[in-house]
């Protein structure tokens, strides 16, 4: 049985249950989604957790009735009359959007009928395992100028065993929620006084970022990238040339300065283009790879902001490669290899790849779009890498490869993006002097390896449940003296570790040793070094590894072997 069809049928059953209990409710849409389904309802009163229990109970009655799903095709006039009589204003709006000549269908089971393309399972009894999960607000059709709907989320599976396994994963996901762990581990937080979607990094979080950024700089430099830094604000003129002013302005922060219009950069590409344009380039110079840890700002709607995963200000490991036509596929291939190498370092070996193609609104010629898309496909196919096509979801200036990694709970996260662009070099009149002495147009590859540093750290927190590997932990070792008598020796151990590049702290609090250990465990510190009278006498430390693993006594001259 197709799981998507099963879940769409469950959404239909949920709408039927809601109408039975709350007949005044108006219906929106109810699709299947990756992990379940939802249905949007318009109701004056908010749905409560108790309401969800009632709805789920009614759904199970409908499932037990085993009502047959029957498809009815009707004329546009019949559909309009039916929906007007039922008072379903939102469904009427959907009806009016159906193109002329396209079939109009309703699905009915028992007393309930709904405008729907389908398909559905044979009958309600085929939905064996269902669970309602939550309710959230959602603007009708995603437009904040439209009425606010109430979106009830649920999930459905073919068996109770599969449902139970999924619910266990949800519980584990709650424990790993990066927003909660970010506060508990003192990494970052958000403050109303500063504004939504704007992150404040605390010392440990800032150190974690720095470790990541140092790693990225090192990896880029050894692959032939050059570092650049560009301004955070630029005149509107450059955004007009790039096309952002026409295609992306609603996501930009614009303001006036000295009588001129400026924009805070939502992307780094125009600045990197200007670095390329700073002097005449030869075919021998190409490829030129410019890299920046570039902070950008985008006006994301408040309703979609979500911890580190969707913010208004974030930093990208952003690079732009300027190359000749004969170098494009090789450069894309090198970026793919770079991405795979870096993901392997973090323990991500499971991912999926999509190619997003030309959207309805775009710049450049269709011929160049096709050439760019073919280059992306060829680079993947040469490496035997499977991919899906995501139609119409490319950037306005070029198609792209998206790499979506899977974490420890098998959830997907957007990571690397590789875009092939013939359009911006044309708009900015970029050139290089070819071997024949004539000016030629370079091709531009936009790419990020980790993507947003904020989003990637959020992913890492949830993947590792906050228990980072030793090399990535902002606090690698915590020294726990048994009592104040041993502070001097503890400081000696701390200084030794610090001199050798270990990130170490010293707990000088008055708590008992068991409580100090529990605190360090809760804060996910990889190693605890306990010092007392025995350790002082033997010039050693007692080593405890995160996860309550006791490694016993280790002399100071061997401690680095253990930590390595």
Residues 262, 63: Cα–Cα separation, whole Å: 58
In this structure, is residue 238 part of a structural domain? Answer: no
Which domain-ending residue is among 464, 491, 517?
464
Active-site residue, from 19, 209, 281, 320: 320
Helix, strand, coil share (%) of the chain residues, nearest 5: 40, 30, 30
Residue 221 domain-assigned?
yes
Are 151 and 30 in a shared domain? yes
Q: Are 424 and 273 in contact (CB under 8 A)?
A: yes
Higher pLDDT, 443 or 364: 443
Q: Of the listed 151, 281, 312, 446, which one is catalytic? A: 446
Q: Among residues 400, 455, 494, 544, which one is catalytic?
A: 400
On whether both 444 and 380 belong to a single domain, the answer is yes
Residues 206-227 pLDDT 10s: 999 999 999 999 999 999 999 9
pLDDT of residue 232: 96
- What average pLDDT does this structure show over 280-284? 96
The whole-number pLDDT of residue 540 equals: 93
Asked whether residue 40 falls in the same domain as residue 135, the answer is yes
351 pLDDT above the threshold of 90 = no
pLDDT interval class at 563 (50, 70, 90): confident
Q: Is 404 in the same domain as 384? A: yes
| Residue-range definition of the domain harbouring residue 505 | 475-563
Contact 59, 12 (CB under 8 A): no
Query: Within this chain, do residues 296 and 150 fall inside the same structural domain, yes or no?
Result: no
pLDDT in tens, 98-125: 998 889 999 999 999 999 998 999 999 9
How far, in Å, CA of 462 to CA of 468, rounded? 10
Whether 16 maps to a domain, the answer reads yes
Tens of pLDDT, residue by residue over 23-37, are 999 999 999 998 899
Which CATH number do you get for residue 510? 3.40.50.800
- If pLDDT is split at 50, 70 and 90, which confidence band does 1 have? low
CATH number of the domain bearing residue 123: 3.30.980.10
Whether 213 and 453 have beta carbons less than 8 Å apart is answered as: yes
How far, in Å, CA of 381 to CA of 474, rounded?
39
More confident residue, 80 or 408: 80
Strands 477-481, 504-506: pairing is: parallel
- Concerning whether 91 is annotated as a catalytic residue, the answer is no
Give residue for tokens 């902002």. 474
Give the per-residue pLDDT at 507. 95
**Would residue 116 show up in a list of annotated catalytic residues for this protein?**
no
- Can you tell me the distance from the alpha carbon of 494 to that of 504, in angstroms, rounded to the nearest whole number? 7
Backbone phi and psi for residue 252, each to the nearest 5 degrees, phi listed first: -110, 155
Domain boundary among 430, 464, 498: 464
Quote the strand ranges of 349-470, DSSP E. Answer: 351-356, 388-390, 400-406, 412-421, 432-433, 439-440, 443-452
Q: What is the mean pLDDT of residues 480-499?
A: 94
Distance CA 477, CA 510 (A): 19
Kindly report which listed range (210-214, 276-280, 509-513) carries the lowest average pLDDT score: 509-513
Q: Say whether 400 is catalytic.
A: yes
pLDDT of residue 182: 95
Domain assignment of residue 189, yes or no: no
For residues 453 and 492, state if they share a domain.
Answer: no
Q: Is the domain of 500 the same as that of 390?
A: no
Determine, yes or no, domain membership for 449.
yes
pLDDT per position as a tens digit, 374-395: 889 988 998 888 999 999 888 8
Res. 285 pLDDT band, cuts 50 70 90: very high
Encode pLDDT of 192-207 as tens digits: 999 999 999 999 999 9
List all residues 6 or more positions away from 329 whose beta carbon is below 8 Å from its beta carbon. 375, 378, 379, 382
User: What pLDDT does 348 receive?
Assistant: 87
pLDDT band at 18 (very low <50, low <70, confident <90, very high): very high
Q: How far apart are CA 162 and CA 171, in angstroms?
A: 14
Determine which one of 51, 109, 317, 318 is catalytic.
Answer: 318
> Does 287 sit behind a cis peptide bond, omega within 30 degrees of 0 on the bond before it?
yes
* Residue 313 pLDDT greater than 80, yes or no: yes
**Does the annotation mark 316 as catalytic?**
yes
Are both 350 and 375 inside the same structural domain?
yes
The two structure tokens encoding residue 537 = 């006498």
Q: Are residues 457 and 484 in the same domain?
A: no
List of residues 6+ apart from 326 with CB closer than 8 A: none
**453 and 487 inside one domain:** no
Specify if 251 maps to a domain.
no
Active site annotation includes 269:
yes
Q: How many angstroms separate the Cα of 16 from the Cα of each of 2, 12, 65, 293?
A: 21, 6, 13, 51
Tell me whether residue 258 is one of the annotated catalytic residues: no
246 domain residue, yes or no: no
What domain count does the chain have? 3
Q: Is 327 part of the annotated catalytic residue set?
A: no
User: Which is catalytic among the residues 12, 19, 281, 298?
Assistant: 298
β-bridge mates for residue 368, sequence order: none
- Tell me the two tokens of residue 257: 């300065």
Q: Which CATH number does the domain housing residue 393 bear? A: 3.30.930.10
Residue 448 in any domain: the answer is yes
Give the separation between CA 389 and CA 72, rounded to whole angstroms: 33
Distance CA(366)–CA(376), nearest Å, equals 15
15 and 112 inside one domain: yes
316, 327, 419, 476: which is the annotated catalytic residue?
A: 316
Q: Both 415 and 516 in a single domain? A: no
């Amino acid at each position: 049985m197709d799981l998507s069809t099963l879940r769409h049928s469950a959404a239909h059953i949920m709408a039927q249950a809601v109408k039975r209990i709350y007949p005044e409710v108006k219906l929106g849409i109810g699709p299947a989604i990756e992990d379940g389904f939802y249905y949007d309802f318009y109701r004056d009163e908010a749905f409560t957790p108790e309401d969800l229990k009632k709805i789920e109970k009614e759904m199970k009655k409908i499932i037990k009735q085993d009502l047959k799903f029957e498809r009815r095709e009707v004329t546009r006039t019949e559909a309009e009359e039916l929906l007007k009589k039922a008072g379903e204003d939102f469904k009427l709006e959907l009806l009016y959007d159906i193109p002329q000549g396209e079939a109009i269908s309703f699905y009915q089971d028992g007393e309930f009928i709904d405008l729907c393309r389908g398909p559905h399972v044979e009958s309600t009894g085929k939905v064996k395992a269902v669970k309602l999960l939550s309710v959230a607000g959602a603007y009708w059709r995603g437009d904040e100028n439209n009425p606010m709907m109430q979106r009830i989320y649920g999930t459905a599976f073919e068996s109770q065993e599969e449902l139970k396994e999924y619910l266990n994963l949800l519980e584990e996901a709650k424990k790993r929620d990066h927003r909660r762990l970010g506060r508990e581990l003192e990494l970052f937080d958000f403050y109303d006084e500063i504004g939504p979607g704007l992150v404040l990094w605390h010392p440990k979080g800032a150190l974690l970022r720095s470790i990541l950024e140092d790693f990225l700089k090192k990896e880029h430099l050894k692959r032939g990238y050059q570092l650049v830094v560009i301004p955070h604000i630029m005149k509107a003129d450059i955004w007009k040339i790039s096309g952002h002013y026409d295609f992306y302005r609603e996501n930009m922060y614009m303001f006036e300065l000295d009588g001129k219009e400026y924009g805070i950069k939502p992307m780094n590409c125009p600045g990197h283009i200007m670095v390329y344009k700073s002097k005449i380039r030869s075919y021998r110079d190409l490829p030129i790879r410019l890299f920046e840890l570039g902070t950008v700002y985008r006006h994301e709607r408040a309703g979609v902001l979500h911890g580190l995963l969707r913010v208004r200000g974030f930093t990208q490991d952003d690079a732009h490669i300027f190359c000749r036509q004969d170098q494009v596929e090789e450069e894309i291939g090198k970026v793919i290899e770079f991405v795979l190498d870096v993901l392997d370092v973090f323990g991500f070996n499971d991912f999926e790849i999509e190619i997003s193609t030309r959207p309805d609104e775009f710049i450049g010629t269709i011929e160049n779009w096709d050439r760019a898309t073919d280059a992306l496909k060829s680079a993947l196919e040469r490496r035997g890498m499977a991919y899906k096509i995501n139609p119409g979801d490319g950037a306005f200036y070029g198609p792209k490869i998206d790499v979506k990694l899977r974490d420890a709970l098998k959830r997907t996260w957007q990571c690397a993006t590789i875009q092939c662009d013939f359009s911006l070099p044309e708009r900015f009149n970029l050139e290089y002097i070819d071997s024949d002495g004539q000016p030629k147009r370079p091709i531009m590859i936009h790419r990020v390896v980790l993507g947003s540093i904020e989003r990637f750290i959020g992913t890492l927190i949830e993947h590792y449940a906050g228990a980072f590997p030793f090399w990535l932990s902002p606090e690698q070792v915590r020294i726990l003296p048994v009592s104040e008598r041993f502070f001097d020796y503890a400081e000696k151990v701390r200084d030794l570790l610090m001199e050798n590049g270990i990130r170490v702290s010293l707990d000088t609090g008055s708590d008992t040793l068991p409580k100090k250990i529990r605190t360090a465990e809760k804060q996910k510190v990889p190693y605890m070094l306990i010092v007392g009278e025995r350790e002082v006498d033997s010039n050693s430390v007692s080593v405890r590894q995160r996860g309550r693993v006791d490694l016993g006594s280790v002399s100071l001259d061997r401690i680095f072997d253990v930590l390595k």
